[in-house]
Copies of this chain bind each other. A is one copy, B any other.
Amino acid sequence: MHNPQLNRHGELQHLLTLEGLPKAIINRILDTAASFVSVSDREVKKVPLMRGKSVFNLFFENSTRTRTTFEIASKRLSADVINLNISASSTAKGESLLDTIDNLAAMHADMFVVRHAQSGAPYLIARHLTATGQDHVHVVNAGDGRHAHPTQGLLDMYTIRHYKKDFSNLTVAIVGDILHSRVARSDIHGLTTLGVPEVRAIGPRTLLPGGLEQMGVRVFTDMNEGLKDVDVIIMLRLQNERMTGALLPSAQEYFKSYGLTPERLALAQPDAIVMHPGPMNRGVEIDSAVADGAQAVILPQVTFGIAVRMAVMSMLAAA
């Protein structure tokens, strides 16, 4: 089957998911990102790679943080950025999603950065653009439902590569609400594609999805067991709605069983790094002593995230 993310020359046409994305493409994104990390340190942080290109941030679901990272990445590439909070506009007037897309494409858009509460929405948009011959418009999935968050997955890969150099001898643990997490899903696909021999999922049974073993993941419900000797710990944010819902007794209970404390961190390798996609719930999934500690690489993740998004966008724009 044809991979909808690649064009006929095998170049990245859309970024929708890390599932099935060739290892060579992922590596090329990470290599390109490395060149942009230094751009952000320069006096003038701009490169003209996307000058005159129009990037539309189509956020059907609100996310100031993610929207901001894409807005900064676009501006550092010299693109023009248009922010559209779509829930508040055409959809309210009863226009269909694809009519909205066709309209924006007719304005000579070059890229849609799409955030949507519904899994598969960016894929639907990409397929429609291809079906209607609008190949000049590229789609970046900025998070769709519980499905995927590929740029977060890529920045996590970049961070691991930066600190650990080699993926081929790592044990990586993902901890928390795996069930509802598009970040976890994208990380698992990235890690297995890049050859990580052991990926672990740690969480209460109610927050672990089925099928993890088939994805090559070892499942733990006991955190102390799961953290043993790991090289990388990826903490997930516990959504507030889970804490008040039926899936968990309370935030305090959760912290007691799955909060990352200095004591628990000591079970991992001494040089293990601690990651978190943010925003953090201090005292719920992570202790402040760990969040602010020497092993945390949470803020470097943010910095790398800008470079990774610049890499993805500039590669798409050149395809």
Total contacting residues, chain A, CB less than 8 A:
54
Scoring A residues 88 to 105 as 1 if CB is less than 8 Å from chain B, else 0, what string do you get?
A: 111001111001101111
- State which of B45, B84, B305 has its C-beta within 8 Å of the C-beta of A52: B45
Q: Is A240 engaged at the interface, CB distance under 8 Å to the other chain?
A: yes
For the complex, give the distance between the alpha carbons of A120 and B287 in Å: 27
Copies of chain A in the complex: 3
A46-B51, A93-B279, A95-B279 as given contacts; A88 in contact with B106, CB under 8 Å? no
Q: Is A306 engaged at the interface, CB distance under 8 Å to the other chain?
A: yes
For the complex, give the distance between the alpha carbons of A46 and B62 in Å: 30
For the complex, give the distance between the alpha carbons of A127 and B301 in Å: 23
Q: Taking CB as reference atom, which chain B residue is nearest A71?
A: B82
- State which of B68, B93, B95, B280 has its C-beta within 8 Å of the C-beta of A95: B280
Q: Is A295 engaged at the interface, CB distance under 8 Å to the other chain?
A: no
For the complex, give the distance between the alpha carbons of A255 and B232 in Å: 61
Q: Which of A3-11, A36-44, A145-153, A208-216 contacts B (4 or more CB under 8 A)?
A: A36-44
Which A residues between 20 and 66 are near B, CB-CB below 8 angstroms?
Answer: 40-46, 51-54, 62-65
Q: Taking CB as reference atom, which chain B residue is nearest A307?
A: B108
Q: Is A107 engaged at the interface, CB distance under 8 Å to the other chain?
A: yes
Q: Is A72 engaged at the interface, CB distance under 8 Å to the other chain?
A: yes
Q: Taking CB as reference atom, which chain B residue is nearest A305?
A: B107
Q: Taking CB as reference atom, which chain B residue is nearest A299?
A: B106
Q: Taking CB as reference atom, which chain B residue is nearest A306?
A: B107
**In the complex, what residues of B have CB within 8 A of residue A106's CB?**
299-300, 302-303
- Mind listing 24 A-B residue pairs with CB under 8 Å? A42-B52, A45-B52, A45-B108, A46-B51, A52-B76, A54-B75, A63-B89, A68-B82, A72-B80, A75-B80, A75-B82, A76-B80, A94-B281, A95-B280, A96-B282, A99-B278, A99-B282, A102-B299, A105-B299, A106-B302, A107-B302, A107-B305, A108-B303, A108-B306
